[in-house]
Every structure is written in C-alpha cells, then in structure tokens.
C-alpha cells in the first residue's frame, strides 16, 4: 500500500488539487438523484488520503477547498435553476451563484483540512483528525450565518435503510458515521488491506442496527383522510395574469374530485403561495376553495401584507367555508431569494430577491408554532426551506404530525426537488413523526414516521392524492437530545486526538522518567 502513498507524493500540486476536486465530486454522487452511497464513501476516502498526505498546512487547506468545491458544485448545481425562471433579468447571476456558494461552503472543508494537517504529526493521526474536524465543520455549517444544513456527507444515506439511524444519531451523527467509514477505508488503502475489515464490519453493524428501529405503525381504520393538491404551475407561468385563474381552477377541480378512499377527505392541503390574492383581498377566493373542499378544512399557502407594509409568506388554516382559522408566517426565509442580506447595499447595486413579488421582499415571522386541528391532532407547519432545519421543531411542543407546503418549481426537475424531498424524509425519520408534503410541481408525498414515502405524486404532473394520516412513533432519542451529544462527542474526540498527537498534555511519544 506504500506504493499508493508514493504515487500521490509524486503528483504536482495542481494534480493533487484536481484529484481532490474529483474526489469531492465522487462524494456528491451519494446524494439524490444519484443515491450511490458506496461511491460517495470512496470519494470521501480519496479526499482524506490527499489531506493526510499533504506536505504542508497550505496544501492541506487547498486540498480541502478543492474537495469541498467539487462536492458542493455537483451536489448543489440546482442552485442555478431559479436564475433561469427570468433569464433576461437574472440569468447572468447563475454562474456566480454556483461559484460563490460552492466555494464559500468549501471554506469549512478547507479549515477542517488545515486543522487536521496542523495538529496531526503523522498521516494516521491526520486521518482521524480530518474525520473529526470535517464533522465539526459540517456541524458549524448548519448553524453559522443562519445555517445551511443541506448536502451534509451523512445525507448520502437518505432514502435508504440507513436513514432510520437518524432516530438515534441525528443528521450529524450520520455524518460522523459516514466520515468514519471513509477514513477507515482510506487507512486500509494506504497501509494494509486487512484494515478494510473494520469499515466493512462497521457498515454491516450499522445496517443491522437500522433494523432495530421500530417499524412505523399502520394507520387505524378511522384515521383522518388528507388530500394533497399538486397544481403543477411552472414558475415562469405561475404569476402571469392570464394563467393565475387557470392554475386556480385546476386546483379547485383537484380539490373537488371524488374521494379516492372509502370516505371524503377531512383535510385538504394546497402548496406554498397557492392562494392567488393577498389575504386581505382573498375572501372570494377562499370561499371558492371552501366550496370545492366540501366538509374538509383546508391548509393553503399564500401571502399577506400587514397595515405597515410588512409582507409575509404564510400558511393559512381555513374552515370548511373558507373562513380564516389560523395563520403561520414563515420565519426562516431564503437568503437572496425571499430577502436580501444587507438589503440597503444590495439594492444600491440593483439586486433583488428572486422570489420577491412585493416591495422589499418578505419579513420573517415570529418563529415555530404548532396548529391545533381538533380531531386531526396537532401539526407542526413548515414552509419550503424551513424543512431543512432539524432544530426548529424542538422549540415547540411535540406535535402529532408535520406538514410542509413548498414550491419547488424554482429548482428544475433533476436534483433539487428530490434532495428537498429526502430532507423531508429525514425530518420524519429523526423525529419519529409522519410528514405530509404538498408541493406545487412535486414531489407531493405522504411520509411515515420512519421516513419512508408511502404515497406520492410524480414530479412535473398535476394531481390529487388521498391518504390516511400515518400515526407517530414515540419520541426518538434524537428528538429528545438534538445535536448536543454529537457536538460534545466530537469535541471530546478532537481533544483526545490532540493529546495523542502531543499537542496538549504529555507527549505520548515521550517516555516517563
């Protein structure tokens, strides 16, 4: 195996950085729509080998930067899609958005690689340190500057049998497991093939443990029936004056369709911003929705403008006649989409949020809430982007189920909507709660308490879906503890490796007198 290290040592800096970028891109193949987690492990292992073999702190940091850029450029390439909804106005921003997003997120990986090389005197310790520092960097990425917990390395298991381990480990525990497996694979490739038995055995044990997570119970015979409405309004047509009534009438027809189950729906859910008018001008529109829904209550996304001019992206709970029963305002908005950070400077440069349709863009709501739906229990509402954050639900009382309304028409039909769906599945699995998802262009889905999609509407099609509301599981370990245990574990491991490397305390290589 020393020949592999010798081959890498003989590569020029440019060649090593290219290899790092390719390894990062290979890691991204674990995410939707590719879903190739074993290839992802090989990619992360390759990057770990390159970091461990770096000749200097500077080269290690550049290697981490190249690997992260390759990873995020492929994983998040869907970010260019919103700029082509109105290409004459925003198309020129698309390449800059991808470069800055991928490169900016890769800075976390560069810092992790630098720390691994700086504190690790030997390649073996650097492998261990890179596992810990990269996991810490990813944990920080989920919270720093409002956080962006999308495309973590642990997400390569989403949609597969290993995803249910999130009930115990949470999303960052999955990342620690993923990076640990990759470092074990790297150690086997660098030193001795027999060492490959350890990651193989760990992977097998993880698969076995996943089978111990309780199965999702079946809905009871009297479970509430929920209808998901998917109008499939392409974003470039959605707000054209002549198309607004077309999509609204389509949604009404889908709402009024005969029941697909043995009884009428108890609740109808429309997607984000599906109400065509501002709330204050929507009485007739809401009455039409109520008439189409019959005896069912309705959840519908819409916009509202307060008397002081503050605009909100909201979820409305309507009674059977369309009367307003409750409002939830989206509190975590999409940067550069629904609002512009440092808006004064940005607007002076001519920049506006892509999803702005009113004045200065949206303002955030007060925070997470739960809605009481009576016989349907309590529900935790999330609008689009909010579903990627696992911590919000812990700020409210544990609900009976979760709902997400979203408009993924912004993100094309290749990867973005599928990754967003899998993040919704992760929220369900880690909380042990079912999640119902109404998406404008798809994928609308019913997700059980283990995170499995039990019914769905295909991407890019209009339709309605009736399903019995799945029951919840007891609160999971992650639902009770959150990310703190993983954070404490990583800090402990980092300190232990520093001690082992002689950076703190007694140098383990120095004999006692």
pTM (predicted TM-score): 0.94
| Helix 37-52 vs helix 123-141: crossing angle, to nearest 10 | 120
**Ranges 80-94, 274-288, 305-319, 436-450: which has the least confidence:** 80-94
Q: Report the mean per-residue pLDDT for the chain.
A: 93
Q: Using one digit for the tens of pLDDT, what is the confidence trace for 253-266?
A: 999 999 998 899 99
Q: How far apart are CA 289 and CA 271, in angstroms?
A: 13
Q: Which residue has the higher pLDDT, 357 or 275?
A: 275
Question: What is the residue whose two structure tokens read 């975590």?
Answer: 332
**Residue 509 above 50 pLDDT?**
no
**Residue 345 above 90 pLDDT?**
no
What end-to-end distance do the CA atoms of the chain give, in Å? Answer: 37
Say if residue 81 is in the same domain as residue 21: yes
pLDDT-derived band at 349 (thresholds 50, 70, 90) equals very low
Say if residue 192 is in the same domain as residue 257: no
Say if residue 233 is in the same domain as residue 190: no
**Residue 58 above 90 pLDDT?**
yes
Catalytic (active site) residue 338: no
Quickly list DSSP for 334-370: PBTTTB-TTHHHHHHTT---TT--STT-B---S----
CATH number at residue 317: 3.60.110.10
| Of 294, 309, 304, 308, the residue nearest 329 (C-alpha) | 304
- What does the DSSP 8-state code read for residue 441? S
Q: Which residue has the higher pLDDT, 319 or 359?
A: 319
Q: How far apart are CA 188 and CA 73, in angstroms?
A: 28
State residue 357's pLDDT score: 53
Give the range of the structural domain holding residue 238, as residue numbers without chain letter: 225-478
Say if residue 206 is in the same domain as residue 230: no
Say if residue 157 is in the same domain as residue 241: no
Residue 299 lies in a domain: yes
Q: Using one digit for the tens of pLDDT, what is the confidence trace for 378-410?
A: 999 999 999 999 999 999 999 999 999 999 999
State residue 5's pLDDT score: 74
Catalytic (active site) residue 272: yes
Catalytic (active site) residue 330: yes
**Residue 359 above 80 pLDDT?**
no
CA triple 274-275-280, angle to 5 deg: 155
Domain count of the fold of the chain: 2
Residue 513 lies in a domain: no
Q: Are 449 and 428 in contact (CB under 8 A)?
A: yes
Say if residue 197 is in the same domain as residue 278: no
pLDDT-derived band at 504 (thresholds 50, 70, 90) equals confident
Say if residue 182 is in the same domain as residue 309: no
| Of 144, 130, 21, the residue nearest 72 (C-alpha) | 21
Residue 303 lies in a domain: yes
- What does the DSSP 8-state code read for residue 502? T
**Residue 465 above 70 pLDDT?**
yes
State residue 431's pLDDT score: 98
- What does the DSSP 8-state code read for residue 261? S
What are the Cα distances from residue 487, in Å, to 119, 349, 478?
Answer: 19, 40, 13
Catalytic residue among 238, 338, 384, 422: 384
Catalytic residue among 81, 138, 272, 430: 272
In percent, the amount of the chain with pLDDT more than 90 equals: 84
Find how far residue 496's CA is from the centre of its chain: 31
Residue 376 lies in a domain: yes
State residue 218's pLDDT score: 92
Q: Using one digit for the tens of pLDDT, what is the confidence trace for 473-503?
A: 999 999 999 999 999 999 999 999 999 888 7
State residue 189's pLDDT score: 87
Q: Using one digit for the tens of pLDDT, what is the confidence trace for 134-191?
A: 999 999 999 999 999 999 999 999 999 999 999 999 999 999 999 999 999 999 988 8
User: What residues are paired with 404 via a beta bridge?
Assistant: 382, 437
User: What residues are paired with 406 via a beta bridge?
Assistant: 439
Give the mean pLDDT of 68-94: 92
Say if residue 196 is in the same domain as residue 235: no
Say if residue 208 is in the same domain as residue 250: no
State residue 513's pLDDT score: 35
Residue 220 lies in a domain: no
Residue 133 lies in a domain: yes
State residue 227's pLDDT score: 98
Q: Are 180 and 202 in contact (CB under 8 A)?
A: yes
Residue 286 lies in a domain: yes
Say if residue 437 is in the same domain as residue 388: yes
Say if residue 202 is in the same domain as residue 238: no
State residue 342's pLDDT score: 60
Say if residue 397 is in the same domain as residue 305: yes
State residue 353's pLDDT score: 53
Distant-in-sequence contacts of 307-310, Cβ < 8 A, 24+ apart: 309/359, 310/363
E strand or H helix at 225: strand 225-230
């Amino acid at each position: 195996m020393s020949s592999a290290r010798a081959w890498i040592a003989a590569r020029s800096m440019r060649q090593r950085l290219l290899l790092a970028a390719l390894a990062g891109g290979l890691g991204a193949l674990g995410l939707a729509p590719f879903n190739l987690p074993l290839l992802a492990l090989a990619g992360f292992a390759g990057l770990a080998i390159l970091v461990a073999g770096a000749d200097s702190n500077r080269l290690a940091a550049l290697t981490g930067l190249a690997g992260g850029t390759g990873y995020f450029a492929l994983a998040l390439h869907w970010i260019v899609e919103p700029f082509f909804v109105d290409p004459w106005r925003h198309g020129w921003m698309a390449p800059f958005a991808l470069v800055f997003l991928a490169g900016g997120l890769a800075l976390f990986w560069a810092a992790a690689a630098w720390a691994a090389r700086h504190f690790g005197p030997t390649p073996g310790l650097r492998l261990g340190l890179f596992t810990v520092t990269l996991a810490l960097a990813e944990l920080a990425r989920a919270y720093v500057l409002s956080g962006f917990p999308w495309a973590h390395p642990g997400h390569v298991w989403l949609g597969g049998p290993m995803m249910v381990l999130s009930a115990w480990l949470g999303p960052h525990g999955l990342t620690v497991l993923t990076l640990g497996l990759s470092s074990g694979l790297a150690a086997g490739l660098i030193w001795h093939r027999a060492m490959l038995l350890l990651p193989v055995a760990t992977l097998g044990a993880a698969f076995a443990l996943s089978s111990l997570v309780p199965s999702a119970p079946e809905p009871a015979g009297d479970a509430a029936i929920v209808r998901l409405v998917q109008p499939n309004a392409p974003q470039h047509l959605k707000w054209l004056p002549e198309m607004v009534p077309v999509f609204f009438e389509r949604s009404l027809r889908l709402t009024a369709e005969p029941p697909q189950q043995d009884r009428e729906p108890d609740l109808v859910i429309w997607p984000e911003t599906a109400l065509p008018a501002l709330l204050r001008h929507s009485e007739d529109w809401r009455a039409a929705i109520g008439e189409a829904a019959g005896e069912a209550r309705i959840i519908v996304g819409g916009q509202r403008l307060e008397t002081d001019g503050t605009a909100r992206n909201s979820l409305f709970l309507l009674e059977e006649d369309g009367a307003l029963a409750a409002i939830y305002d989206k509190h975590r908005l999409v940067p550069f989409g629904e609002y512009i950070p440092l808006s004064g400077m940005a607007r002076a440069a001519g920049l506006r949020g892509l999803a702005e349709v009113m004045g200065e863009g949206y303002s955030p709501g007060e925070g997470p809430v739960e809605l009481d739906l009576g016989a349907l229990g309590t529900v935790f509402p999330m609008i689009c982007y909010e579903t990627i954050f696992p911590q919000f639900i812990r700020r409210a009382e544990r609900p009976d189920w979760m709902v997400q309304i979203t408009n993924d028409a912004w993100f094309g039909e290749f990867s973005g909507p599928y990754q967003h769906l899998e993040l919704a599945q992760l929220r369900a699995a880690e909380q042990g709660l079912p999640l119902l998802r109404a998406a404008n262009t798809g994928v609308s889905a019913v997700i059980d308490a283990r995170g499995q999609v039990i019914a769905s509407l295909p991407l890019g099609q209009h339709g309605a879906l009736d399903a019995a509301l799945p029951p919840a599981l007891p609160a999971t370990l992650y639902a009770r503890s959150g990310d703190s245990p993983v954070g404490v574990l990583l800090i402990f491991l980092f300190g232990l490796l520093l001690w082992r490397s002689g950076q703190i305390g007694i140098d383990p290589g120095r004999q006692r007198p």
